[in-house]
Amino acid sequence: MDNFIAARSQMGMSLAFHIIFATIGVSLPLMMTISEWRWRSTGDPVYLLLAKRWAKGTTILFAVGAISGTVLSFELGLLWPRFMQYAGAVIGMPFSLEGFAFFTEAIFLGIYLYGWDRVPGWFHLLSGIIVAISGVLSAGFVTLVNGWMNTPTGFDIVAGKFENIHPFVAMFNPAGIPEAVHMVLAAYTAAGFATAGIHGWLLLRRGRNRFDEVAIGIALLVGGTPVLLQSVSGDALARMVAAKQPMKLASLEGQFQTETGAPFRIGGIPFPDKRETKYAIDIPYGLSLLSFHNPHALIKGLDQEPQSDWPNVRMVHICFQIMVGCGSLLSLFALLAGGLTWKKPPLINHKAFLKALVLISPLGFVALEAGWMVTELGRQPWIIYHLMRTKDAVTSMPNVTITLLVMTALYVILGIIVVWLLSRHVIAVPDRKQLERAGVLV
């Protein structure tokens, strides 16, 4: 394999795994804190047990996330030394702040785990909240860096180098905040629905029990609320892309020609050689309306740039369709479930509801990974948009294929271990004794 492709594959593979670990690590603390709060206000031991289970899950994911995060921080230099040489100083601030958010998370997770009967109740709950907030901040800071790669700001270029750098202007680049919000909402959606789905499946298998029912309730709340907000956040992000990265918008929409009143395409396969997107359902004026809130707005097409500078339009467009499709299905489900919450008998007693839940539960993660494919592939061939090409940033070290193969094998093992640990220690059904003794468990 060509070194450049191997380096891109290794980075993509490491990120794809890390995103899953990190996403669950961001969402579980919120679920565990909600559960503890329910326990403190109702005294129902099933909430306490659930909070402790999710705390254990948080610990596992935190440790695995620490490992895969360490790997990524080194890989930035190992694979892209020239990128780090030029951009390290500009993007260092959010990375450093992320380090501190991570520290805070570690410390308060420790207090949460070992402080059940050693700190006052309100402080224990507060520790859980701090863990949840610092997890969100970590995710946010890292995403700000990705935002900068898409809309680089906060510097002047003097003689081929970054000069007059303003780290906070760089940090709050135009793409940064919209991307970070979109990412955090996606994290809650993906992990919330996945958790609800797992417990839905277990509920179908092992029959009615409070443990799974309560878990589904909290997980659906954590997954279902953000997915509805995601449409607002997605709209803000799309308008930012339309304004700042018109070529990226053109490739995610499969828009080859520049036109006013451009249609919004649902589905379809772009054919870059023929410069058209076939088999799509067109919604007239849709894209202009969505991008600029004006049906006659001008949408720049890929024809504005030489074909050699296009990303892989077909992949980007298809991934974008997958993301939007999954997100829409999940939103529909969340709306239905939310609307029917007050009906009797409760939804959770319906097998059909549980089956539907199980069926759609992986879609959050599918959308998450597809969304990252859109933003990463859509930025190509640039590592820093319109400033540095990815191929100019890659290491001169030979045989990257070997490290790619080794790291892939290792991550697969790590992934299997995580799944196995979670199934054994977090979602396994508790026996009666555990429920009765929940108050004394540590």
Site for other proteins in 115-134 (CB under 8 A): 115, 118-119
Candidates 60, 190, 322, 337; binder of other proteins (CB under 8 A) is 60
Tokens of residue 80, six digits: 């892209």
Using CA atoms, how far residue 422 sits from 21, 210, 419, 431, in Å, is 12, 19, 5, 17
CA dihedral 149, 378, 230, 265 (to 10 degrees): 150
At residue 199, the 3 state secondary structure works out as helix
Contact of 427 with 56, CB cutoff 8 Å:
no
Tokens of residue 222, six digits: 């954590």
Q: From the CB of 113, what's the least distance to other proteins, in Å?
A: 9
Closest to other proteins by CB, 58 vs 245, is: 58
Cα–Cα distance between 250 and 246 in angstroms, integer?
6
The interface with other proteins within residues 80-119 (CB under 8 A) comprises 81-82, 84-93, 95-100, 102-104, 106-108, 110-111, 114-115, 118-119
Of 61, 57, 55, 69, the closest CA to residue 111 belongs to: 55
Total interface residues for other proteins by CB under 8 A: 75
Q: How many CA atoms lie less than 13 Å away from 74 in the CB half-sphere?
A: 6
Using CA atoms, how far residue 125 sits from 33, 41, 55, 209, in Å, is 7, 12, 12, 26
Q: From the CB of 436, what's the least distance to other proteins, in Å?
A: 13
Q: From the CB of 429, what's the least distance to other proteins, in Å?
A: 13
**Is residue 12 near other proteins by the rule CB under 8 A?**
no
Candidates 13, 71, 228, 269; binder of other proteins (CB under 8 A) is 71
The binding track of 318-347 with respect to other proteins, each residue x by CB under 8 A or -, is: ------------------------------
Candidates 38, 52, 182, 379; binder of other proteins (CB under 8 A) is 52
The interface with other proteins within residues 267-306 (CB under 8 A) comprises none
The interface with other proteins within residues 356-375 (CB under 8 A) comprises none
Tokens of residue 15, six digits: 């990120």
Q: From the CB of 366, what's the least distance to other proteins, in Å?
A: 25
Candidates 1, 42, 43, 77; binder of other proteins (CB under 8 A) is 77
